[in-house]
Amino acid sequence: MYSLALIDTGYRFGGKNPEAGLDCSGMVSYVFAQAAGLKLQGSAADIARRGQPVPIAQLRPGDLVFFNTRNKPYSHVGIYIGEDRFAHAPSTGGKVRLDSLKKGWYAARLEEARTYFD
């Protein structure tokens, strides 16, 4: 729910809060701190090092999905919200939005999912 409340928040590289703007890892860090009291810090790649791998077919809302968007592993992260959709803060488009895991540009670049909950 917290990630949905951020839809249309402006993008800012290195952004860590909605008032100043968010990048992908900043959005994830902010949502996890607000919703679950978990501290996830650093880049998408740093966040990917934590948590447990989860098969894409077993994703649950709140799991994180990681993408290779710049020919670099774990260069982008989003929050799975259900129904094959994820919330994220892409630099292209300039705002937090929802996209599909099954079709489009991000579907072809999906690398892995991780869970941070039992």
* Residues known to be catalytic: 24, 76, 88
Q: Are 61 and 52 in contact (CB under 8 A)?
A: no
Interior/surface letters 74-111, b for 16+ CB within 10 angstroms, e for the rest: bbbbbbbbeeeebbbbbeeeeebbebebeeeebeeebb
Q: Which residues contact 69 (CB under 8 A, 6 or more apart)?
A: 75, 76, 106, 109
